[in-house]
Amino acid sequence: MSNIAKIVLIGANHAGTAAANTILDNYPRHGVVIFDSNNNISYLGCGTALYIGGQIDDTKGLFYSSKEILEGKKAKVYMETSVEHIDFAQKKVFAKDSAGRELSESYDKLIIASGSLPIRPKIKGIDKTNVEYVKLFQDGQKIYQLLASPDIKRVAVVGAGYIGVELAEAVRRRKKEVLLFEAAGRSLASYYDDWFTGEMDKILSGNGVELHFGELVSEIKGGEKVTGIDTDKGSYQVDLVVMAIGFRPNTGLAAGELETLANGAYKVDLHQETSKSGVYAIGDCAAVYSNALEDSAYIALATNAVRSGIVAGHNAAGTPLESAGVQGSNGICIWGYNMVSTGLNLAAAEKAGFSAQYTQFEDLQKPAFIKENNYPVKIRIVYDKKTRRILGAQMASYQDISMGIHLFSLAIEEKLTIDKLKLLDIFFLPHFNQPYNYITMAALSAK
């Protein structure tokens, strides 16, 4: 059993909460001190679009922890208190609360879970009123309230990654006009190949989202408030701009002290330990190990935050535990159309230098004689031509096919080849699937 330690956590959203719970639940002898600059803990950002779009009627369920819950497990919790400096030599953090009071805490082990910040592009007019970002619960509340105003009629959503696409749907559900701007030629380009995004783009425009793909936003127009948006292709009148062009790791706190990736994310080993012994970094502020790339990468997801928090919690508390790495598995559901992916899409695999190849198949989920709840499913599996290692998979359907992608996540983690899937035992029952399963069919047709 390791000695009693005082473990300080900076940040208590998904990563910090997972680490705190791991330590408090399994190692109650250790002292845990938690700082968070925000006034809430464990906000599920994935619920923001559902809330803004009016698809959920109570926001309480978007939180699963609180100061009181953590204090109930004997943690010392400072809310609305920002850590402003870390003295790594003295093992001490210095913080300031919302009233300007300064305080400090020493530590034996430090876990940094400071997360990410929305990227703010340096364009003219970006500081105008009604230019909003989507990150905190408070951001969601603000956009929800703005959309209630009859003055807000036309909304520009900038960025067609998964948050921008979800927000475009949400704003349409509030009966406003939506213009979706994206520099790439299609939505969701980082996660899916165009065989999939073509369908998504049709669904978006079919539901009234005005698509402006291949357009670069250059200026936000107006006086104090937004009145329009300019791109390299045109000028548009809008009353609200929602920026959703991505996130950057929030790592200013230890800049120059800890090793980072090029984008600023703290480098960590498989124990989540940074370049300084006894200092861990987790969640959106840290790099992850991508099993598809076989290298460090930046993949900001709540799932990665939780798992990295669990790993760091055990290690900081004295039990060595290695991360299994990640695949960046993700999903999206827009007007009932489900897309899920894991690992690398074709473009990402090519960009990473693999001689990437894919195999794909499209079929009904169940035999055609099943007339109810039976939709076409698309699957594409990306693999390396030389080693035949599976690098990624994408699936899409109105059917809920989400559980299928986990098979590919494990396949990538376990470095399986495409050939290993050809004769995999996949059960058949007409209520669920077909005797010639689309996974088998895609694998069998791999060149």
List the structure tokens of 83. 């850590």
Which part of the chain contacts ligand FAD (CB under 6 A), choosing from 146-154, 194-202, 255-263, 300-308?
300-308
Handedness of CA 38, 40, 46, 52 (dihedral sign): negative
Task: Select the residue interacting with ligand FAD from 27, 35, 191, 408 (CB under 6 A).
Answer: 35
Site membership for ligand FAD, residue 37 (CB under 6 A): yes
CB of 422 to ligand FAD, least distance (A): 31
The reply to whether 442 sits near ligand FAD by the rule CB under 6 A is no
Q: Work out the widest C-alpha separation in the chain, in whole angstroms.
A: 71
* Exposure class string for 294-332: b at 16+ Cβ within 10 A, else e: eebbbbbbbebbbbbbbbbbbbbbeeebebebbbbbbbb
Helix (H) or strand (E) holding 317: helix 302-317
Paired tokens of 8: 């300080």
| Least Å from the CB of residue 274 to ligand FAD | 14
Regarding 42 and contact with ligand FAD (CB under 6 A), the answer is: no
Q: Catalytic site residue 285? A: no
- Tokens coding 353: 């230098």
291 vs 446: CA distance, rounded Å: 22
User: 290 near 392, Cβ under 8 Å?
Assistant: no
CB 158 within 8 A of CB 164: yes
Indicate whether 284 belongs to the interface with ligand FAD (CB under 6 A).
Answer: yes
Shortest reach from residue 71's CB to ligand FAD, in Å: 17
Q: How many residues form the binding site for ligand FAD (CB under 6 A)? A: 32
Min. distance of Cβ 165 from ligand FAD in angstroms? 11
Where b means 16+ CB within 10 Å and e means fewer, 100-122 reads eeeeebebebbbbbbbbbbeeee
CA distance 92 to 98: 20
User: Which one of the spans 96-104, 189-197, 297-305, 342-350 is the region binding ligand FAD (CB under 6 A)?
Assistant: 297-305
Q: Does 45 bind ligand FAD (CB under 6 A)?
A: yes
Residue 272 makes contact with ligand FAD by CB under 6 A: no
Residue 13 interacting with ligand FAD (CB under 6 A): yes
User: Is 14 considered catalytic here?
Assistant: yes
**Which of 302, 346, 349, 421 touches ligand FAD by CB under 6 A?**
302
Name the residue nearer to ligand FAD (CB basis): 37 or 399. Answer: 37
- 36/132 with CB nearer ligand FAD: 36
Taking a C-beta distance cutoff of 8 angstroms, is the pair 186, 192 a contact?
Answer: no
Neighbour order of strands in the sheet with 209-213: 131-133, 240-243, 154-158, 177-182, 209-213
- Nearer Cβ to ligand FAD (51/358): 51
Of 221-250, binders to ligand FAD (CB under 6 A) are 250
Return the structure tokens found at 179: 């213009």
Q: Which two tokens stand for residue 50?
A: 């559902």
Least distance (Å) between residue 348 CB and ligand FAD? 18
Closer Cβ to ligand FAD, 42 or 345, answer by number: 42
Q: How far apart are CA 27 and CA 353, in angstroms?
A: 44
> Which of the residues are catalytic?
14, 46
Contact residues: ligand FAD, CB under 6 A: 10-16, 35-38, 45-46, 48, 82-83, 113-116, 134-135, 163, 250, 253, 283-284, 300-303, 305
